[in-house]
Structure 1
């Protein structure tokens, strides 16, 4: 049963990462305005012409890796800094952070917990 739970959580998280990564390049859906601090941060990342494309590429590549169950510990490690920034921005600068925390942070934390043994082997 836990194997199916892991697959469902991994796919739910990965599909979001791939979708929003591709959306960063193709802009199918306009991101609604957030707090001024978050909007300023995102604008600055976009204006560098490097940071946001790199983030979106990481979301796409490692999201696909999670979908096909390839290099899962490496993928989770690659997502760690992104989730740290996304979670922190929304916790401290979004009056209603629960949507982001529920959709991204919670599944990510569940995956890290489920793969904690293999993540520890990755760093040793």
Structure 2
């Protein structure tokens, strides 16, 4: 049963990462304003012409890994800083933070819980 739960959350998180990564290049969906601090941070990342494209490529590449079930612990490790920033910004600077934290942070945390032992071995 836990393998099905893992697949559901891996696909839920992976699909979002691939979608939002591709959206960073093709602009299918306009991202709604999240608050002045978050908007300034995102704008600064876009203006560098380096940070945001790299983040979007990481989302696409490692999101696809999650969808394929390939290198899942590595993908979760690579996503850790990104999820930390997304979660922190929205938790502290977005009054409607559950619209982001629920669909992105919760599946990630479930996957971390399910792969915790593997991740600890990967770090050591």
Q: TM-score under structure 2 normalisation? A: 0.99
- Look up the match of 2:116: 116
- Look up the match of 2:88: 88
Output one character per residue of 1:60-87: Cα deviation in whole Å (capped at 9) or x when no partner: 0000000001100000000000000000
Determine helix, strand or coil for the equivalent of 2:34.
coil
Deviation at 1:100, TM superposition (A): 0.9
Determine helix, strand or coil for the equivalent of 1:44.
helix
Measured in 2, the distance between the counterparts of 1:75 and 1:34 equals: 27
Measured in 1, the distance between the counterparts of 2:104 and 2:91 equals: 13
What is the Cα-based RMSD across aligned positions, in Å? 0.5
Measured in 1, the distance between the counterparts of 2:50 and 2:95 equals: 29
- Look up the match of 1:77: 77
Pair 1:97 & 2:112 matched: no
Deviation at 1:34, TM superposition (A): 1.5
Output one character per residue of 1:9-68: Cα deviation in whole Å (capped at 9) or x when no partner: 000000000000000000011101110100000000000000000000000000000000
Runs of at least 5 residues in structure 2 that lack an aligned partner in the other structure? none
1:1-124 to structure 2, matched below 5 A, reads 1-124=1-124
Q: TM-score under structure 1 normalisation? A: 0.99
